[in-house]
Structure 1
Amino acid sequence: MGQASASRLLYRLAAWISDLRLAIGLLVVIAIASGIGTVIPQLEPEGLYHQLYDRQPWLGLLNGERVLALQLDHVYSSGWFLSLMAWLGLALLLCSWRRQWPALQAALRWIDYRTPRQLSKLSVAQTLAAEDVDSCLARLEQLLRERGWEVQRHPDRLAARQGVLGRVGPLLVHAGLVVLLVGAAWGALGGQRAEQFLAPGRTLELIDSRGHSQLTLALDAFAVERDPAGRPEQFRSRLRILQGSGIDAAAVEATELEDGQARTPAQAVREAEISVNHPLRFRGVTFYQADWGLAAITLQLGRSPELQLPLQSLPQLGDQVWGLVLPTRPDGSDPVLLSVASEQGPVDVYGSDGVLIGSLGVGGEALEVNGLPLRVRGVLPASGILLKRDPGVPLVYAGFAIALLGGGLSLLATRQLWAIAEAGEPAGRLHVAGLCNRNLTAFAIELPLLLGQLSSPDGCRG
């Protein structure tokens, strides 16, 4: 009795997990969670979430601490999101096992109806009077085979079917979704992501988890395209991938070489231009044009040589403002703050009291700052390049392909037809009936047209 109760409990649990309504609910929750992942920045430093949401909580409910506690900073690799996908995958597998697989097995089995009474209970049924029912049955078999039906013939009856392949469609859809979920989970757990700002003429060396150099990425040129109002519209980077041993590692990291050159002589194996929405894929790694920034400013103080000084982001002055503190005396006193928001300038100069001293154009005239002529010779932009390695991408694409194939096959109607020849005096009768899982109305119209071709010379009549 205990084993029977346990079996019933497991059956009920499997039925609940594989319920269509539950699967739809899981899809809705996963879609909402995916939407949240596109709204809240992902995989950023913790400080950014406190900066964004402590003063203005997200949706008025979640501050930075709660966003981090709920793992909303990495939705797609969070435990609860992966659990939802695992639950959906299990539901699809159980549904296939409990419903789709038995339906396919039933479709593959030949059903042998032996009496006219059995046929009269089917959805579409018709009876023809025939002087020679055997000839009518043979003619019907011939017509069905000419139209691509599979036919199983008995002396006084036949069974035929068409479109059995359509029964495979739902199984393939479920299988494709499961493969897609596995690929997405694998990519979330086993993928790597690194974002670096790279100035033209500099290089990034990609290393594996053991510190071995894999290849080197060189930035030859970077340009920011702007609209008439000066707002950035598009970013473009011209890249060279220098020869390495290939990318085949458990982890990929990016480090910038200080001298701007590769440590060992290297030869370019790939040259390409990337821009927003046009990434480069190479040996399992995808290079995205993600952002832009300002790397350095070239200054001239009086008659001094040109000095290239690094710029730092100044979020307290704005979202896209960079600058540096520059002393104007040999002893480091009387510092001024230089701030710039575009590689085209202007460069604003602020005194130690925070008062604006003036603005400098890039390549323009000098500005007297604390008795010292100051010129801006150039501003060097930096390309924000996102490197991602996602081992689950092939599975995701394969899952989409399998699901699309299954969806296409699911559109095929599965039709079944039976005919029984009943001898009699002075005339016999041919009983024909059929089933169709899709567009039954069209099948009900087509069947009389098919039987209409059984009229003379065989002596069949409706």
Structure 2
Amino acid sequence: MKKKITWLLFKLLTNLKTAIVLLLLIASFSIVGTIIEQDKSLEFYQFHYSSVSPLFGIALWQFIKLFGIDHIYTSLWFLVLLLLFSLSLASCTFSIQFPLLKISKQWYFYKYQYQFNRLNLTRTLRKIPISICISNLNKINYSVFQQKKKLYGYKGLLGRLSPIIVHLSIILILSGTIISIFTSFVCQQIVPRGEVFHLQNLTVSKYFSFIPQNTIGKVHNFWIDYNTDGSISQFFSDIELQNSNGELLQRKTISVNTPLIYKNLSIYQTDWNIVSVQLKLGNNILQLPCNFVQSDNSSRLWTVYLPITSSLDRGYIFIISGAHKILFAYNLKGELLFSILLNQLFYLHNVPIIFLDIFTSTGLQIKSDFGIPVIYFGFLLLIISIIFSYINYCQLWFSLTPLFLLVGGNTNRSFLNFEEDLWFIENSVNKYL
């Protein structure tokens, strides 16, 4: 009884309809996961989905939380679907595709007319020596086997590998996805220029994520390149990674879309900020913090307040636009007084002040995902399988009778090219005669 149930389950998994149903379910739930925001807080779903009419008496946000639609890609039922689909492809590969490949490598011969009548193409040619047929088949890259007055030839065996490679590539892609679900992590860092940082401030952390604690980073420098119109072209960070002993692991200048990659760690340039402004008042050096302000035209501004009284109720406001290292001085009435360049001397209440520097910080995103190499390799195999699928698998049989030569063959695709092979053989026979 157990063997019968096991056989029925195996037969169900190898069924093409089962694989199609599983694939459609995975695709459908993936679409839902694209439409509905994933991994948000409970308050987010209550705010955005409370106005929708209840479904079966249940509010939509409750429905989303109840069935795990807020984290589809990490929910148990979605992982089970991926596992079943992978098992279906694997069982189909071993029970159907590998036997077909094995049969394709076997050679066998046809002798009688009724055997040739079952083939896609048949020809009856005038009688010629069998050695001429072998020579002609070799010219068009066929592997040839002979048994007395019968021949069998084939070419394009790589084309039969295509379905196997497709199945393998999809299994690898799904496996890499599952590995990513269980092992990846993402952290965000805002690091001032010249400071060190550790892997912390995690925004994404999975069940088996491993965050290396013996890796230390340092931002040596940060700078911005501008276009001729003053807009930002690109921003750069000079990043160094060290181990816990202070030994250099890797150093690289990163920019947007040009990360530092060390082993399984990827450090991306994502944002930047101005932390403080350094001024010299007489013989004293002050470092004043900056506050970010989003303007109406989406430009980035920072404000710095310089008090001139102990009660902090009187002072001046400096505004920085971008990282151009230009200060615009305003009074508390909002009136522009003057602009100051880097290292320029100016006076406020007869006090000499020098604008020394702007201290910036860089925004970094640090990611680790062991599933990405597996996914990339799966897609590489998928590309290879597509190339292999264009290779025709062709088979030809010859049988030399006392009166004529029987020729027939099959192909899995590109019927016209296969007919050209037969035409070449017919033409070669006619030339011989």
Q: Normalised by the shorter chain, which TM-score bucket? A: 0.7 to 0.9
Contact 1:360 1:375 in 2 (8 A): no
| 387, 394, 399: which one aligns with 2:378 | 399
Q: How does 1:287-436 map to 2 (within 5 A)?
A: 287-299=267-279, 303=282, 305-313=284-292, 320=300, 322-323=302-303, 329-331=309-311, 340=320, 342-344=322-324, 346=327, 356=334, 358=336, 361-363=339-341, 377-423=356-402, 428-436=403-411
Contact 1:360 1:367 in 2 (8 A): no
C-alpha spacing 1:376/1:185, structure 2 compared with 1 (3 Å): farther
- Following superposition, the deviation at residue 155 of structure 1 comes to 2.2
Tell me what 1:154 maps to. Answer: 147
C-alpha spacing 1:6/1:54, structure 2 compared with 1 (3 Å): closer
Contact 2:140 2:421 in 1 (8 A): no
- Any idea what SS the aligned residue of 1:181 has? helix
Work out the CA distance in 2 between the residues paired with 1:5 and 1:83. Answer: 20
- Following superposition, the deviation at residue 268 of structure 1 comes to 3.9
C-alpha spacing 1:13/1:148, structure 2 compared with 1 (3 Å): closer
1:188 aligns with 2:166: no
| 172, 179, 204: which one aligns with 2:197 | 204
Tell me what 1:110 maps to. Answer: 107
The amino acid across from 1:181 in the alignment is: L
Stretch deviating more after TM superposition (9-18 or 196-205): 9-18
C-alpha spacing 1:409/1:16, structure 2 compared with 1 (3 Å): closer
Percent identical among aligned pairs is 21
- Following superposition, the deviation at residue 445 of structure 1 comes to 2.7
The amino acid across from 1:448 in the alignment is: W
C-alpha spacing 1:10/1:77, structure 2 compared with 1 (3 Å): closer
The amino acid across from 1:440 in the alignment is: F
Q: How does 1:265-304 map to 2 (within 5 A)?
A: 266-299=246-279, 303=282
1:439 aligns with 2:432: no
Tell me what 1:213 maps to. Answer: 214
Unaligned runs of 5+ in 2: 54-59, 201-208
Work out the CA distance in 2 between the residues paired with 1:429 and 1:217. Answer: 81
C-alpha spacing 1:379/1:362, structure 2 compared with 1 (3 Å): farther
1:318-346 deviations in whole A, cap 9, x for unaligned?
79555577765435556887765523355
1:113-138 deviations in whole A, cap 9, x for unaligned?
331122023111100232xxxx5223
Tell me what 2:11 maps to. Answer: 11
The amino acid across from 2:261 in the alignment is: R
Q: How does 1:57-96 map to 2 (within 5 A)?
A: 69=65, 82=79, 85-86=82-83, 88-96=85-93
The amino acid across from 2:187 in the alignment is: A
Contact 2:288 2:305 in 1 (8 A): no
Contact 1:346 1:359 in 2 (8 A): no
1:121 aligns with 2:121: no
- Following superposition, the deviation at residue 175 of structure 1 comes to 0.6
Tell me what 1:136 maps to. Answer: 129
Tell me what 1:452 maps to. Answer: 427
Aligned residues: 415
C-alpha spacing 1:83/1:297, structure 2 compared with 1 (3 Å): farther
Work out the CA distance in 2 between the residues paired with 1:433 and 1:305. Answer: 98
C-alpha spacing 1:93/1:239, structure 2 compared with 1 (3 Å): same
Work out the CA distance in 2 between the residues paired with 1:420 and 1:403. Answer: 39
- Any idea what SS the aligned residue of 2:234 has? strand
C-alpha spacing 1:443/1:322, structure 2 compared with 1 (3 Å): same
Unaligned runs of 5+ in 1: 246-263
1:239 aligns with 2:219: no
1:328-380 deviations in whole A, cap 9, x for unaligned?
543555688776552335567685xxx636577454676869x9998765432
1:215-268 deviations in whole A, cap 9, x for unaligned?
x322222112234554433111122333x26xxxxxxxxxxxxxxxxxx6x354
Report the RMSD for the aligned CA atoms in angstroms: 4.6
1:4-28 deviations in whole A, cap 9, x for unaligned?
6885576346426644475367457
Contact 1:328 1:372 in 2 (8 A): no
C-alpha spacing 1:150/1:434, structure 2 compared with 1 (3 Å): same
Work out the CA distance in 2 between the residues paired with 1:381 and 1:275. Answer: 15
- Any idea what SS the aligned residue of 2:376 has? helix
Work out the CA distance in 1 between the residues paired with 2:6 and 2:237. Answer: 63
Stretch deviating more after TM superposition (95-104 or 191-200): 95-104
- Following superposition, the deviation at residue 158 of structure 1 comes to 2.1
Work out the CA distance in 2 between the residues paired with 1:284 and 1:202. Answer: 23
Tell me what 1:255 maps to. Answer: none
C-alpha spacing 1:80/1:281, structure 2 compared with 1 (3 Å): farther
- Following superposition, the deviation at residue 448 of structure 1 comes to 2.6
Stretch deviating more after TM superposition (228-237 or 433-442): 228-237
Work out the CA distance in 2 between the residues paired with 1:7 and 1:211. Answer: 46
Work out the CA distance in 2 between the residues paired with 1:35 and 1:111. Answer: 53
- Any idea what SS the aligned residue of 1:408 has? helix
Contact 1:422 1:431 in 2 (8 A): yes
Contact 1:321 1:340 in 2 (8 A): yes
1:175-218 deviations in whole A, cap 9, x for unaligned?
1221122223313321222221122211224599698533x322
Q: How does 1:21-40 map to 2 (within 5 A)?
A: 23=23, 26-27=26-27, 30=30, 32=31
1:136-158 deviations in whole A, cap 9, x for unaligned?
22321233245432223222322
Work out the CA distance in 1 between the residues paired with 2:78 and 2:226. Answer: 39
Tell me what 1:260 maps to. Answer: none
Tell me what 1:256 maps to. Answer: none
Work out the CA distance in 1 between the residues paired with 2:99 and 2:337. Answer: 78
- Any idea what SS the aligned residue of 2:160 has? helix
